[in-house]
Amino acid sequence: MERSKKVVLLCHCILNSNTKVEGLAKNNGIGKGIVNLLIENEIGMIQLPCPEFMCYGLKRWGHVKSQFDTPHFRKNCKMMFEPYADQITDYISNGYEVLGVMGINGSPTCGVERTCQGDWGGEWTSTDEWQSRLDTVEYIDEMGIFIEEIKKTLDDMKIKVPIYGINFSNVEESYEIIRKILK
């Protein structure tokens, strides 16, 4: 088999939904469908690390973007991506096509067009206002922290690689993105 000389970088939970916040992993087959499409088209898949799992583990609560927007988390996101930025550079300089980075819309970390934000945090047992604080959580049209750091790194290195957002709640929309990058 000839090598395709085409690769794509996938946010971690597209290939491994076990790192998602417990309760969030829905088995609607999107991850499997995306992977099948990529395999059928002989696209090499590079799995990015899951920053939330690496920093906060499997027992973390669901967060909003402002909770992860700390110098430490940003620094770690940047550090985690650097080895992948080096791989991208090497692929491109050897004539390979890096088709894109696939993020996860809605995630405070890996969102591309959409992330979640709100006045959320603090000690649950010290307040009876948690429901009204939870009600402030909403989706906004911004990137998550990891994707912001990925974009900054690529921009600083003057590397042009598109970043796409997969929508785990919309199978057809997600497949359409994959078909678009395969054209």
Q: Does residue 50 touch ligand SF4 according to CB under 6 A? A: yes
Of 53 and 91, nearer to ligand SF4 (C-beta) is: 53
Q: Which stretch binds ligand SF4 (CB under 6 A): 44-52, 91-99, 128-136, 157-165?
A: 44-52
d(Cα 60, Cα 64) in Å, to the nearest integer?
12
Shortest Å distance, C-beta 146 to ligand SF4:
6
Q: How many CB atoms lie within 10 A of CB 136?
A: 11
Q: Which stretch binds ligand SF4 (CB under 6 A): 86-94, 106-114, 122-130, 149-157?
A: 106-114
Write out the two tokens for 106.
């809605």
| Size, binding site for ligand SF4 by CB under 6 A | 13
Which residue is it, tokens 């300089």?
93
| Crossing angle of helices 145-156 and 71-93, rounded to 10° | 50
Shortest Å distance, C-beta 104 to ligand SF4:
4
The SS3 call for residue 36 is helix
